[in-house]
Amino acid sequence: MIDFTNRKNRFLNLIDVPKTYIENIKEKTKSDAYYPTYHVAPHHGLLNDPNGLSFYKGEHHIFYQWFPLGPVHGLKHWYHVSTKDFVHYCDHGIAMYPDQTYDSYGCYSGSSLEVEGELFLFYTGNRKSEKGGFNQSQCLAKMDSSNLVKKIGVIVDRDETVFTENFRDPVVFQRTNHSFLLVGGETIDNQGALALYKGETFYDLSYQGNIDIGINDFGHMWECPNYYEQGKNGVLILSPQGISSFSKYDLKNVFSVVYFVGEKIDVENNMFKNDGFIELDKGFDFYAPQTYEDEKGRRILIGWLGNSKSEYPTDKNGWAHMLTIPRELKIKDNVLFQEPVIELKDLRASSHNFEREIRLISGSFELECEIQDEFGITLQNDEGANITFSSNGEEYCLDRSNMSELYAERFGTERYAIRKIKEKHNVKIFVDQSSMEIFCDNGETVFTTRFFIKDLSHLTAYGVKGKLHYLSSLQVTSTR
Ligand code: FRU
C-alpha cells in the first residue's frame, strides 16, 4: 500500500496510481472477514460522512465522502448510490471528482435540495490557499433525473475577518421567497459557529451573521450541521469538535454528535431558541449524520459509522468505515427517537429464538430482545474474546475491552448511558460482522460501534428473551 505517513501521498489522485494498485486493494477489501454485508461501505479506500441525502425521483440518494487509495483522509470525492427499498441498491460510482480549481484539494461534505426538478448539491470546495494552508468555499452542483452531475461553481466565499480556514459543510432550507444556507465553522477566536446566508435564490446569498444557539464555549469547530423544520420545531444536529464532560455518561466519543430541538430559526435575529443539547449517540463510532425527508414524510438519518481519530485493525486491508443503517427519526417532547427503517425487515432470512446461548452461523444479524432490569448480551468467539452490552437496571454499559483485536483504546473501552426505561422493554441490535447498532429506551438511547472479534462463534445472554434474525446481503447493481 502507498505510504500515507508521507502526507503528500494523501493528495494522490486516482489517475496517479496503476490499475493494478486499485485491483489489489479492492481484492483485499472484498476478502476481509470484517467487511459488512448489509451496510453501505467503500469498495476500497476510506468512506466518511454521508452527503447530499435526499429522496429524489422516486429513490433515496446517498452520497458519501470517499478517498479511493487507502484507509486515510486524503483527496475526497463524492461517491453515489441510490435505493428504492434499502435492500436493492444501484451503484453510480463517483459523482464528483476534485477536478476544479476551487475543489482541487477535495470535494468536502454537504447536503442537497430539490429545486425545480433538479437536485442541487451543496458542498465545500477545499483548495490550497495562496497564504499557505487551505481555503474552503461553498459550492453548487446539480444533478438531473438521469443522475448526471454538473458543477456550477462557488456560491459562498469565506469572510476571512470572521472565520479561520475551517468553514464548511453547507446545509440549506427555503422559506417563502428566500433561500438560506448554513455553514459550520471556526471563528478567528477559535469558537465553533454556524454562519447564516440568505438570498432570493442560491446564487445571491449574503452573510447575515452567526446564529445564536444559546450556549457559549461549545467547542472550537462545528462540523456537519444538519437543520430541518418539522411542524412547529426546528431541529439542529451538530458535530462539534472540542466539547467534553466530566460525567462518565456524556460526550465520551472521539467527537460527539449533539442535537437541539427548539423553535424554527429566527432568521431576522439570527436566533435559534431551543431546549439545550442532547447527545445523539453514546458510542463509540458515530459522526457527521445527516437527515432528509422521504416521500412518505419520514425523516431519515444516516451517519458515518466511524470516527476520524481511531485506527482500525482492517486498515491494513486498504479500506475503512461504513455508513450506519438508515434510521427513522421521530420527535417526542423535544427529544429525538431513532428506529431502524422498517424496510430492513425485508433483509431477514431466517429467525431463531434464544434465551441463554445461540451458536452463530453468520455475523450479520438483527436481535429483537425483551430485556429485564438486569441483563447482558455477549458476542464472543470460542476463546472467550467478546463484546458485551449489559445493564444493572440503572445504566447501560457497552464494554469492548475484551475483543480479540483491540483498537483505539486511548479513547476508552467502555461507554455508559443512564437508562431511561428501567423496567423490561424491547431493544433492537443490528450486528454486521464488525459493527453493532443498539437501540434502547424505544430509540432514545443509541450506541453505534465497531468491534473486532476473530471468528465470532456464539452469543450468550442473561435477563433476555430474544429473537435472532439472520440478515441477507444488500443486492447491488452497477451503472458505473
Ligand atoms: C467531517 C469532515 C467534514 C469535512 C469532511 C472532509 O468528518 O471533517 O467537516 O467536510 O469530513 O472529508
- pLDDT single digits (tens) 293-350: 999 999 999 999 999 999 999 999 999 999 999 999 999 999 999 999 999 999 999 9
400 lines ligand 1 (CB under 6 A): no
The distance of Cα 454 from the centroid of its chain, to the nearest Å, equals: 25
pLDDT for residue 479 is more than 90: no
Which atom from ligand 1 is nearest to the alpha carbon of 239?
A: 1
169 lines ligand 1 (CB under 6 A): yes
Partners of 293 in the β-ladder: 299
Residues ≥6 apart with Cβ < 8 Å to 208: 196, 197, 198, 267, 270
Pairing between β-strand 274-279 and β-strand 258-263 as defined by DSSP bridges: antiparallel
For residues 227-236, b (16+ Cβ closer than 10 Å) or e, as one string? bbebeeebbb
The best mutation among 11, 49, 73 to test binding of ligand 1, ranked by most ligand atoms within 8 Å of the C-beta, falls on 49
Instruction: For 177-208, write each residue's pLDDT tens digit.
Output: 999 999 999 999 999 999 999 999 999 999 99
Edge-to-edge strand ranges of the sheet holding 178-187: 163-175, 178-187, 192-199, 206-210
Radius of gyration of the CA atoms of the chain, in A: 22
Cβ contact 265:234 at 8 Å: yes
Residue-by-residue DSSP string for 156-203: E---TTTEEEEEEEEEEEEETTEEEEEEEEEETTS-EEEEEEEESSTT
241 lines ligand 1 (CB under 6 A): no
Residue labelled with grid coordinates 428506529: 339
124 lines ligand 1 (CB under 6 A): yes
- Find the helix or strand (DSSP H, E) in which 292 lies: strand 287-293
Domains of the chain: 7-341 (2.115.10.20), 343-478 (2.60.120.560)
176: exposed, middle or buried (Cβ count in 10 Å: 0-12, 13-18, 19+): exposed
Q: Calculate how far, in angstroms, residue 474's C-alpha sits from the geometric centre of ligand 1.
A: 26
The residue-averaged pLDDT of 443-449 equals 98
pLDDT band at 403 (very low <50, low <70, confident <90, very high): very high
Which cell is 99 given?
477536478
The distance of Cα 401 from the centroid of its chain, to the nearest Å, equals: 24
Which cell is 234 given?
426546528
- The protein residue with its alpha carbon nearest to ligand 1, atom 6, reads 108
Q: Calculate how far, in angstroms, residue 334's C-alpha sits from the geometric centre of ligand 1.
A: 28
The residue-averaged pLDDT of 395-414 equals 96
49 is catalytic: yes
253 lines ligand 1 (CB under 6 A): no
For residues 395-424, b (16+ Cβ closer than 10 Å) or e, as one string? ebbbbbeebbeebbeebbbebbbebeeeee
